[in-house]
Amino acid sequence: MRLVLFLLAALSIPVTASAADRLTDTSRFQAAFQGSFYGFDVCGDSTNGKLYRKALMDKVQHCPFTKDAKSDFTAWAAGAEAKGGNEIRRYISEHDKLPPRLDRRKANCIAQQQNDAYKQALAALAKYAGGEAKADAVVPDACEAGQSAAAAKVKP
């Protein structure tokens, strides 16, 4: 539950830069992307973890970020996807268990998976996977998250 809330919160953290600068800063998406490894993959749900990360990538591509910001995020995400999964798999193969910090996290997985917010996230992912919903259903309002009323009126 806490991780699902963290992933959503990571996308809604207010940004202090101007509206134009905000359209180059994908750090909220990067935080959610990284957090998804702990919210899904560590809990044995790498399929939905990958799907969530795909929705994040789709959302970035459809947000009014600059071409450079989109390109940088795509390159960063490809590296993070490979690194995140590989590090967890390598550790497990070497130690036959999760790292202690992740092992504690794994203990909370069952409770998280029973949480209504998690179930709603899975339902949104299922619709997204089936082509019944767009990335916005999985990652709602992320483009404008944190904008002030004045900044929200500024159009690129």
Question: Could you report the per-residue pLDDT of 83-109, keeping only the tens digit for each?
Answer: 877 776 777 677 776 666 665 666 677
In a domain, 78, yes or no: yes
What Rg do the C-alpha atoms of the chain give, in angstroms? Answer: 16
In a domain, 36, yes or no: yes
In a domain, 97, yes or no: yes
The per-residue pLDDT for 115 is 87
Residue 38 structure tokens = 């702990």
In a domain, 128, yes or no: yes
Q: For the chain, how many structural domains are there in total?
A: 1
Contact call for residues 40 and 81 (beta carbons, < 8 A): no
Residue 111 structure tokens = 């409770």
The per-residue pLDDT for 102 is 61
Count of C-beta atoms within a 10 Å radius of residue 115: 15
In a domain, 115, yes or no: yes
Whether residue 38 has pLDDT greater than 50: yes
Question: Could you report the per-residue pLDDT of 115-141, keeping only the tens digit for each?
Answer: 898 899 999 999 999 999 999 999 986
Q: 140 is in which domain, residue-wise?
A: 2-151
In a domain, 156, yes or no: no
Distance CA 68, CA 47 (A): 29
The per-residue pLDDT for 147 is 35
In a domain, 22, yes or no: yes
Mean pLDDT of 48-52: 94
Inter-axis angle of helices 116-129 and 46-62, nearest 10: 70
